[in-house]
């Protein structure tokens, strides 16, 4: 089966462009908003959307995303309802749709069933931030069999040996953390160029950078050296604070997309 995420990055690279990857919590502030906002973000210039599957014990999420997941869970959002939503909207969007999901959810459902249900719904890839890399190969292979990307996280403190292992396990792209700690907004743009140069010694995959990326200036700084910028907390916060979450999200992402750097 074709890998939509690989295709998106291949096309952007050929055109000398970089990608914007907004993160939203599935079901926040409601499933209706999630359904509407995906199309709005595509119009605003997003290329891939990360759908956070709500989890009761977020691994690396700061207070904004943790609170959004808590509210979504209280509203009854489940992996099954997220898949049903994706199945409904998949025919209407060309966006890449990636599930950000805890390994404990995958294990509870069963890796084979989770991958099957996700792929059948139209999910294009997985980010599994808390999986043990010693057992990640099986899940990566299950995802690959269904044309889904599989991305793991590289932290600022990750050793070169572990970078090589993570890069070898990842497909589609590698997710690089711009800072140590949890998700959340930051005031200053990250100085990631040396880290990106190091990681490129271990992989030819596109590199997407997240954690603390929260302004158009941050997006410009990230995509000057990396292939994609991931923005989460700043977007989720605006959606929660606005009387019209869809309009707020679209306006913010449009500003971010306008700051993407071209590749020469």
Domains of the chain: 4-257 (3.20.20.70)
Lowest mean pLDDT among 1-10, 25-34, 124-133: 1-10
Output the pLDDT for position 2: 59
Average pLDDT of the residues in 118-146? 96
pLDDT digits 0-9 by tens, 59-78: 656 789 999 999 999 999 99
Residue found under tokens 């999910």: 123
Q: pTM of the prediction?
A: 0.93
pLDDT digits 0-9 by tens, 188-209: 556 799 999 999 999 999 999 9
Catalytic machinery residues: 50, 61
Output the pLDDT for position 57: 80
Q: How many residues does the chain have?
A: 264
- The whole-angstrom separation of Cα 5 and Cα 214 is 23
What mean pLDDT value characterizes the chain? 93
Question: At 178, is the pLDDT very low, low, confident or very high (cuts 50, 70, 90)?
Answer: confident
Handedness of CA 254, 24, 22, 193 (dihedral sign): positive
Output the pLDDT for position 201: 96
> Peptide bond before 29: cis, by omega within 30 degrees of 0?
yes
């Amino acid at each position: 089966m074709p890998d939509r995420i690989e295709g998106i990055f291949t096309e952007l690279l050929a055109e000398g462009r970089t990608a914007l990857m907004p993160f939203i919590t599935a079901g926040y502030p409601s499933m209706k908003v999630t359904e509407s906002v995906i199309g709005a973000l595509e119009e605003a210039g997003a290329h891939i959307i990360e759908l956070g599957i709500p989890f009761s014990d977020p691994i690396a999420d700061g207070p904004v995303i943790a609170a959004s997941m808590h509210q979504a869970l209280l509203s009854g959002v489940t992996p099954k309802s997220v898949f049903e939503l994706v199945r409904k909207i998949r025919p209407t969007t060309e966006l890449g749709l990636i599930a950000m999901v805890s390994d404990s959810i995958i294990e509870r459902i069963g890796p084979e069933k989770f991958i099957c249900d996700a792929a059948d719904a139209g999910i294009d890839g997985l980010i599994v931030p808390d999986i043990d890399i010693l057992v990640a190969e099986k899940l990566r292979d299950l995802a690959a069999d269904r044309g889904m990307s599989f991305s793991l996280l590289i932290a600022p403190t990750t050793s070169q040996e572990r970078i090589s292992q993570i890069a070898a396990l990842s497909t589609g792209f590698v997710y690089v953390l711009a800072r140590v700690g949890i998700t959340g907004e930051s005031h200053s743009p990250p100085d990631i160029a040396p880290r990106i140069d190091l990681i490129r010694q271990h992989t030819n995959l596109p590199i997407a950078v997240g954690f603390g990326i929260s302004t158009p200036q941050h997006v410009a700084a990230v995509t000057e050296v990396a292939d994609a910028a991931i923005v989460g907390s700043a977007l989720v916060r605006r959606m929660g604070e606005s009387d019209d979450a869809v309009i707020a999200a679209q306006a913010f992402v449009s500003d971010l997309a306008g700051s993407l750097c071209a590749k020469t």
